[in-house]
Structure 1
């Protein structure tokens, strides 16, 4: 079933609901209050079959300024807009506001429909038409076709249907192959079925028994029923008005503004990089950090606007900025949004999402602005690289998703050939991000070498703690390997140091070092303690700390041993285990020529290292 979505827009009582009924035969006003008051309050839905064979789902939106938020919840997914202007009133305040909204939502196809032509004389109607054309010439609707109708008599309805049919043939679906995403505009419960949500499926397809998620909560759900225009179907596709019966979630857990999507395909965020546009007739400029209402998909949320490089933006101007939302939202790059002021309540602007998961970085405004411009208007390769640059070891698919790009293998390949990125398994390493991390590493090493000039270097674990890097151990090992291969750092045991660094002992400290080495070597397996080596001498303590990174190690607590002797003790344990089938304390003690106490300390250390395992009074190799 090939479908499109047609939406109405216009001032209250200009005949939108009557027009929908004339086109479809359905009364979209279903609430008792709507019928009693004669106005549309909530979204209404109807459908009809067009001559081209496509099914048109019609979204009837309220025209009263108090219900603009309801209008916005249904306007985001429409393919063709019918801007309704009553012949007996002409352009009115909500006409202008709805036109602004359609513009900010990026609606490309629209028809201007002059309704109620049977209620006025021809001269007055012509005056209204000319006045409308004069205003529309200043908007994105300047080239939109205009049709005059009377929804009661049916005059003009065939011409309007024909025009809608012609436009419908030009609607193309490019997002069917992408992960499913559907903003929820209605939630209700059906007896015997449970939770039902409706919306326009923006991307992808949804089939029976699909396991999806409800976001931003991330609630897992299963699709147990799908309806398109009141007909049960096995699959819904992008562009269709869709009703989903969801298992695993209650009505109370879902609300208008939630998004049903493929699991893991979207990410909740409270920070968006955006391109902003302020309406020419906005009553006042928008100031940096001003609190506004953000309408994104079917979501309404409060947000603060942070302008890039300026303190305010005036009516008719555009700029880049960030939106800091007060609760999580779901977005993709290039999604359109609308902004309304809190006082007075009016639509003042809108724009498009540049980055759905904006970073709070140390960039200057100029740097952040340049990055946003590249993400927004760069070539496909430039956009992909801009997103890759901001993450170290970023997943290829996640980077492509953030950039809202697919089939990006050729771009990654070109970036790699040009030396802009490297790969570690399925993860992308951008050379600039890598260079930043290298500079951080060298800075940490310089500080460490200054603070501890006698130590061979910084322990690996300590370096990883200090770095602004939260990768996995294997990724950290890869980083170290790259830094060593490029000659930036060196390694001594478990210590890392800046290339060219070497501990420098003064004559006095060098003498102490030689004395300590000789003492520990002479003691052999009759182990000495750090107190026996140092006492209260600060210089000796400094030397001991340096030697513990190179020649010495602690066996237990404050007991000191040469690293080479410990390795020899392990070899002895291996020899005994192979010869006797197990390691007995007495045999180990005699082989080392030490006391039972020190032999036991050595074996217990091997146990802790999982080199040996105690079984009764004996030990075996692991």
Structure 2
């Protein structure tokens, strides 16, 4: 199950491929053009078993500056690097650039291999070794072991094998429990099998028949077959060079830089917040929206660099920035990246992603920098809190995906017990977010009550619209939570402040009595709301207040009391009991009204399922009747 990936790096023609062939017996230059020109163009892959039994996957990368993007695609995901330097030439420009690149990729272990020692005398070799040690002093490579070899005679290979044992003995293990993720560095078709992709499985495990997704396009695929080190396997594990035969997708739909991963386990984004550093020797200064090439995973994308902690980033600077991309990529927090200029082409910097799905900021405030520092270096619990604060209604899976760590839900439970976050329907929100929502809702409701003192509450739909939150469903969940916890009142479709009750003034009480008397005195010869209020504002307000409880409005804005309506319903029930059917003329005469108003009431009965039409007549649905609206 254990597998470690070792990659080569170094200047063109310094013997990387020859070293790998001498070590493994396998020539990683497979293209005809590579053999013709004598240089590596594409990535090469093979494996090697150490005396201890540990298997090393070997990634041989091209050294020519024109193929740096291929080198970067292979270097991502390696655990240890062999930096190859030819004794007859020493450190060359591409050696230095490869070293710069490796410094940004989070590689755990390094070994410098001095090749072609047969081509120089002892004195020259010592000068080259002294130059190497001087060049790496003060860098991440200071103190790195230097092994001397000749790939033709295999001189020094016993020592090299021993150093590989030491180098890889305590490599930090990758997580098998995370969801699977593999950056695709090659895509091709095999006759009889179809589409095949290769890469280093970064996390988790993959089994045959697994259903995965190819990002950033979100193409659903199925694992048809798996190979690790040219052998068919049922499962592949994090840290292994893996070939996956995918069904349900064509070769033309995929490209290097895509990611094969579990569903909803990565972020698809065209904007990332990062912690960066700039190489020490560069003469470039990078200001806002400076155009660069971003290399992350196995992808290469045009990007614009927006410094946050600096006005301009220059040689040796470290800080925070936002990177905007022309196309979407699929990444996670903690992924390493490299930046290269477009013209002239050179590696200028790199760093780590600290937020794969940030907001786009207009200004660089102290609060923004504080937030980035939090995401960069705080504890898991602090980062969880910050993430939930900025992403309300997050699930545990989303929080864990953002952290890109094996974390337990207990950390969230502790934050919940301390009142920092709340769990609502298996989703987490920050307490501050809830309070902001609550106070905003109360402010809207109090303003509404002030203007509408006799209305029991504000229509829920109107409140949700005024709150103007991006997700209506989440807004309704929050409102329901506030009501359940006695922070607001929610009655049917009306919302009010918890302490609000409409109260009539003495004058309004008199108007109420007058209106009720007028309505009742008319019997079932109904009046409209306009006729009742005579365009008097205060009468309109009192009538609206009465319509909440005491009155009922029929189509055409005709008004009757609740008692009148119930009495009409009782009359209908009595007529049905006497005659077995309810006829419009009988009902009209029984309540002493016109055909128009009788029909209006019967249609209301139908609407409430109290009655059903049978031709021109009606029957009662007493068993089905749901109690009406009063």
Instruction: Mark yes or no: TM-score above 0.5.
Output: yes
Q: Which runs of 5+ in 1 are unaligned?
A: none
Aligned to 2:628: none
| Cα distance in 2 between the residues matched to 1:613 and 1:399 | 54
The 8 Å contact of residues 464 and 476 in structure 2, kept in 1 or not, is answered as no
Q: How does 1:190-269 map to 2 (within 5 A)?
A: 190-269=190-269
Name the counterpart of 1:43: 43
For the residues of structure 1 that align with 2:70 and 2:102, how far apart are their CA atoms?
14
Aligned twin of 1:118: 118
Offset from partner CA, 1:102-122 (integer Å, 9 cap, x none): 111111111111112222222
CA contact (8 A) 1:530 1:558 kept: yes
Distance (Å, rounded) in 2 between the aligned partners of 1:367 and 1:8: 42
CA contact (8 A) 1:495 1:549 kept: no
| Aligned-pair CA distance for 1:555 | 3.5
1:52 is paired with a residue of what secondary structure?
coil
| CA distance, structure 1, for counterparts of residue 35 and residue 399 of structure 2 | 49
Residues 124-523 of structure 1: pairs in structure 2 closer than 5 A: 124-360=124-360, 365-449=365-449, 452=452, 455-470=455-470, 476=475, 479-484=478-483, 488-491=487-490, 494-501=493-500, 515-516=514-515, 518-520=517-519, 522=521
1:529 aligns with 2:528: yes
Separation of aligned partners in 1, 2:582 and 2:85: 98
TM-score with structure 2 setting the length: 0.88
Please give the alpha-carbon distance, in whole angstroms, between the structure 2 residues aligned to 1:186 and 1:379: 37
Compute the displacement of 1:219 (Å). 1.1
- Contact 1:456/1:550 (CA < 8 Å) preserved in 2? no
Instruction: Assess, with a 3 A threshold, how the Cα gap between structure 1 residues 557 and 376 changes in structure 2: closer, same or farther.
Output: farther
Distance in structure 1 (CA, Å) of the matches to 2:337 and 2:177: 24
Larger deviation, residues 13-22 vs 534-543: 534-543
Alpha-carbon distance in 2 for matches of 1:582, 1:252: 74
* C-alpha deviation, 1:449, in angstroms: 4.0
Q: Check the 8 A contact 1:181/1:201 in 2, yes or no.
A: yes
SS in structure 2 opposite 1:127? helix
Q: Secondary structure of the residue that 1:408 maps to in structure 2?
A: coil
Q: How many residues align?
A: 620
SS at match of 1:71: helix
**Secondary structure at the counterpart of residue 393 of structure 2:** strand
Q: What's the secondary structure of 2:332's corresponding residue?
A: coil
For 1:491 and 1:439, the matched residues in 2 are separated by 16
Deviation at 1:589, TM superposition (A): 6.5
CA distance 1:216–1:564, shift in 2 (3 Å): farther
Task: Report the Cα offset of residue 361 of structure 1.
Answer: 7.2
Which segment drifts farther, 52-61 or 593-602?
A: 593-602
Question: Which whole-Å CA distance do the structure 2 matches of 1:152 and 1:168 have between them?
Answer: 25
CA distance in 1, matches of 2:128, 2:578: 107
Change (3 A) 1:613 1:354: farther
Helix, strand or coil at the partner of 2:97: helix
Alignment of 1:18-167 (within 5 A): 18-167=18-167
Q: Deviations over 1:109-163 (max 9, x none)?
A: 1111111222222222211111111111132111321111111221222211221
* Separation of aligned partners in 2, 1:41 and 1:493: 70
Pair 1:197–1:446, CA change in 2 (3 A): same
Aligned-pair RMSD on alpha carbons?
Answer: 3.3
The separation in 2 between residues aligned to 1:148 and 1:209, in whole angstroms, is 46
Asked whether the equivalents of residues 194 and 247 of structure 2 are also in contact (C-alpha less than 8 Å), the reply is yes
Distance in 2 (alpha carbons) for counterparts of 1:582 and 1:207? 71
**SS in structure 2 at match of 1:287:** coil
Report if aligned partners of 2:320, 2:372 keep a CA contact under 8 Å in 1.
yes
Q: Is the 8 A contact 1:355 1:403 kept in 2?
A: no
CA contact (8 A) 2:64 2:94 kept: yes
Provide the rounded CA distance (Å) in 2 between the counterparts of 1:611 and 1:158: 95
Looking at structure 2, the residues matched to 27 and 466 of structure 1 have their Cα atoms a distance apart, in angstroms, of: 68
Give the C-alpha shift of residue 15 in structure 1. Answer: 1.4
Name the CA distance, whole Å, in 2 between partners of 1:120 and 1:581: 121
SS of 1:393 mapped into structure 2? coil
- SS of aligned partner of 1:151: coil
Structure ID, larger Rg: 2
More divergent stretch after superposition (307-316 vs 334-343): 307-316
Aligned-residue offset at 1:72: 1.1
The alignment partner of 1:330 has SS state of strand
Deviations 1:427-485 (Å, cap 9, x if unpaired)?
22321111121232133334434554554432111112222435575x65553354356
In the TM superposition, what is the alpha-carbon distance from 1:307 to its structure 2 partner? 2.8
C-alpha distance in 1 between matches for 2:331 and 2:22: 36
Distance 2:363 2:569 in 1: 55
Q: Following TM superposition, by how much is the alpha carbon of 1:498 offset from its aligned partner in structure 2, in angstroms? A: 3.4
Once the two structures are superposed, what CA deviation does each residue of 1:184-214 show, in whole Å capped at 9, x if it has no partner?
1110011111100001000111111111111
Q: 1:565 to 1:301 in 2, by over 3 A?
A: farther
Q: Give the 3 Å change call, closer, same or farther, for CA 17–485 of structure 1 in structure 2.
A: same
